[in-house]
Every structure is written in structure tokens, then in C-alpha cells.
Amino acid sequence: MASHPVAQYTSPSAWAMVEDKFSPYAKETLAKLITFVHEEVLPAAKLAHAQLPPDPEARWKTVIPVTAELKVKARKLGLWNLFLSKAHYPEYGTPLTNLEYALMAEILGRGGQMASEAVNCSAPDTGNMEVLARYGSPEQQKKWLVPLLNGETRSAFSMTERFIASSDATNIRTSIRQEGDEIVINGHKWYISGAGDPRCALHLVLGKSDPDNSDRYRQQSIVIVPANAPGVKVIRPMQVFGYDDAPEGHCEIIYENVRVPLSNLVLGWGKGFEIIQGRLGPGRIHHCMRSIGAAQYALDLMIQRVTDPAKKTFGKYLYEHGTVVSEIAHSRAEIESARLLVLSAALQIDKAKAKGALKEIGIAKFVVPSMALRVVDRAMQAYGAEGLSQDTPLAGMYANLRTLRIADGPDAVHIQQIGQRELKRAPEISKRNADIKKREKLLLEKHGVKASL
């Protein structure tokens, strides 16, 4: 098989396993993406930071110029909406499978949020575009989806609430009710990513429309709310370890008697839980692959640091001290294992869609972010104080990765679900082992051997 540049940035063995599943188009696109991220995005990171005004108000009204320039370049290169598979979204998608995009998402993970936005593949827009492409009406798609696909607007997914445990979506209190030909929304949300962006045009709001329904999973609906609708009040940007992530942000929002047309209801009444399950599955895999890319980049930075002759201590390279070599080896092993886990999940989504890959997605969701955090933490330790500063991407990586152990479902929920799923195999396991014992007994009797207890 011909060599591909991806092997230098991910894993030659992993690439060898999946290369024959990549189309010529996917291989070419992946190669272009690698060049784009390393020659255009990574060198622009500090410029982007410098172009964001320090003024508390101005920073939320700014579209970072270099990011806008990168989007133009990416689109000309055909690096656009790579996440949206034509196999699942024939009208809007690109000719890529989830498996093919998985390795692309890993490359994007090296470039952080700016890399994903540059190719129109950043959350929460990706999940919102999938919702509108899969469940939206033709009118909704024309008005809201097409501008998102073109990168003209941004969006927010408004689910998490401040005064409840939002990890159980059935707890949601936001009220969604019909009044004539309008829908009225009242609720209090927070950590709503993307809501601070001046380009944010819509919020997909999850709320309770039928709280008395005996089926807890049919009580919720999703409504499209224009970001500038009367009654939408952005209270404040929330922080993550002190980062406000302007201009996108993670905002606290109050919806006070917000009125939208009945046509803004997505899919139908009581379909909210169904929609969020469909939305979060592929998105979790995207997060996981980007996390692996971040971990790989952190390991690269660590190796560079510990082999730098200018950073010798007590006459030795840093890798010659203590457990540094062991930490590098563990990071490599953990990244390799996690990558194979997520590629397996992506392949299963291609075969059985997200609903048929819930186990694989759930395992990846609680395994990968924790792994990536360990790798980044080791790299930060190698850099000392510099690893905690703004002079490397490591501190920002750590903050972003730590949120993923909570976002899209906390670790504990996924662990519980996977554990319960495994326990359901008990009757099958008992039956299989009983059959083995039965055959064992017959074999021993045949040969006149007395069975032990």
C-alpha cells in the first residue's frame, strides 16, 4: 500500500487497518486537511488570540479575522462540512463515511476549535446541522440549515439547565406550550455553547411540552428559537477554568415568554428525546477523535520538550530523569488503544447508524477524554510552569478536554449504561457455561474420571 501522510500524525498500524476502507476522494481530502491544519491553522493560533480584543464587551462582538480568512481558504480547497456523510444525508452530505471523517477529526483536534470552525465542522453547529438535515421540514432547512451549511451563521443547542441535574434529560423544566398558531417558551438555561457568538442565528431549545405524559421520554419537544427573538436574554458568559471562550462562549440564558411560529417545532410534539439521542451519538465520536488528536499533539510537544538540549537539568536530558520515558510509553499505548476504540465505533455507525452503535459510542465517551487528560497532564508536567501558561496550547487543551467528561452526558451516566448493558448478558453467559459444564461432565463420565466439585 502506498504511504499516506496521515501515518506520520496518527498511527501507521491504525492506518494500515483502515486504509482499504478509504475512498480515493477520502485519502486526497485527508492529505489536504493535514497540510491545511499544519501549514495554515496551527501557525495562525497566536494571531487569532491577538485579534480577539481584551475589552469585555468588544470580544463578544468580534469575528476573528484570521478565522474568517481560513474559512475562505478551506472552502476553496474543498475542506468543508466534512462531518456530514452523504450516506446518511444524501441531499446535503459529503462523500465521506463516519470512519473516514474520524481520522480527519483527529487531525482537526491538533488545531483546536479554530481548525474545526475553519472547515465548518465545529460544535455545536455540527450537531444542529445534523438535526435540521435529518428532522427539519423543507421550510426549516431552507431558512436555517442552508446558511449554517454555507458558514454564514452559527447556532446554539439549548438543553442544560442551571437548577436541575441536566444529565437526566427528563428533568428539564423549560416550558414549551402552544398558544394558537404560536409556541411560547419559558425557561432558564446555562452553559449554552455558541450563544455568545455575534453570528449565532438560532437556538435549538429543548423543553417540556407534555409534562403529564406517562412516558417520560415523550414529554419533551425541540423548537427553533431565533437568537434575536424578543424575550431571549443572554445573562452572562460562563467560564471553564477561567476561560470564557469568546466569541462563541458558553452562556446563561433566560427565555421569557418567547414566541415563535408553530412551524418552528422540529419533527413534532414529544419528539425531543428522540432528536437529542440522534444528535448526540455521532457528535460524541467527533469529540472523541478530536480529543485523540489533541492528546497526540500533546505527546508530540512532550517529546520535543524532554529531548531539548536547552532544557537539560543536572547535566541530563529530561527524559533521562525519573519516569519520563515510562510516561511517554504509557501515553503512546493509551492513545493507540483509544484510537482503535473510536475507529471501531465510527465503523459501527456506518454499518448500523448511531442507534446500532450505542455501546461503542458510550464506551468511547467515557474512556477517551480521561485518557487524553492523562496525556496532556504528563506533557504539562514536562513543561513545568510554561505548561500552565498561555505560551503553549496545553492549558487550553486541558480545560477543553475536562469539559468533555461532563458535556454530552457525564462519565457516570455512560459507565452506568454500559455496565447495565453488560449485566443483561448474564442469562446468555450462564446458559453457555452450563452447556460447557454439561459436556465436561459427560466427557469425564465417558473416561471414568470422577468429577471434582
Q: What is the CA radius of gyration of the chain?
A: 24
What's the mean pLDDT in 175-190? Answer: 98
pLDDT, tens digit (0-9, with 9 covering 90-100), for 332-381: 999 999 999 999 999 999 999 888 999 999 999 999 999 999 999 999 99
pLDDT at 2 exceeding the cut of 70: no
Task: Report pLDDT for 453.
Answer: 61
Delimit the domains of the chain by residue range: 6-149, 154-266, 274-422, 423-453
pLDDT, tens digit (0-9, with 9 covering 90-100), for 301-313: 999 999 999 999 9
One DSSP character per residue, 10-44 reads S-HHHHHHHGGGS-HHHHHHHHHHHHHIIIIIHHH
pLDDT at 436 exceeding the cut of 70: yes
Task: Report pLDDT for 15.
Answer: 95
The CATH homologous superfamily to which domain 154-266 belongs is Butyryl-CoA Dehydrogenase, subunit A, domain 2 (2.40.110.10)
pLDDT, tens digit (0-9, with 9 covering 90-100), for 238-248: 999 999 999 99
Q: Mean pLDDT, the chain, as a whole number? A: 96
pLDDT at 236 exceeding the cut of 90: yes
What's the mean pLDDT in 409-423? Answer: 95
CA dihedral 432, 433, 435, 440 (to 10 degrees): 150
What's the mean pLDDT in 396-416? Answer: 95
Min mean pLDDT across 103-112, 206-215, 233-242, 349-358 is at: 349-358
CA dihedral 58, 113, 248, 189 (to 10 degrees): -150
Collapse the DSSP code of 382 into the 3-class scheme (helix H, G, I; strand E, B; otherwise coil) and give the result. helix
Q: How far apart are CA 99 and CA 345, in angstroms?
A: 8
Task: Report pLDDT for 282.
Answer: 79
Q: What's the fold here for domain 6-149?
A: Butyryl-Coa Dehydrogenase, subunit A; domain 1 (1.10.540)
**Contact by Cβ (8 Å): 369, 288:** yes
Min mean pLDDT across 78-82, 161-165, 233-237, 447-451 is at: 447-451
Task: Report pLDDT for 196.
Answer: 97
**Contact by Cβ (8 Å): 108, 119:** yes
Contacting residues for 50 by C-beta, under 8 A, at least 6 apart: none
Task: Report pLDDT for 269.
Answer: 98
Min mean pLDDT across 4-13, 244-253, 265-274, 373-382 is at: 4-13
Confidence band of 1 (pLDDT split at 50, 70, 90)? very low
pLDDT, tens digit (0-9, with 9 covering 90-100), for 378-394: 999 999 999 999 999 99
Q: Is 197 exposed, middle or buried, given 0-12, 13-18 or 19+ CB atoms closer than 10 A?
A: buried
pLDDT at 283 exceeding the cut of 90: no
User: Cβ atoms within 10 A of the Cβ of 331, count?
Assistant: 24
Task: Report pLDDT for 280.
Answer: 78
Task: Report pLDDT for 336.
Answer: 97
What's the mean pLDDT in 64-80? Answer: 98
Percentage of the chain exceeding pLDDT 90: 93
CA distance to 133, 137, 183, per residue, from 127 (Å): 10, 16, 23
Amino acid sitting at position 417: Q
**Contact by Cβ (8 Å): 239, 193:** no
pLDDT at 277 exceeding the cut of 80: yes
Pick the CATH number of 274-422 from 1.20.1440.230, 1.20.140.10, 2.40.480.10, 2.40.50.100: 1.20.140.10
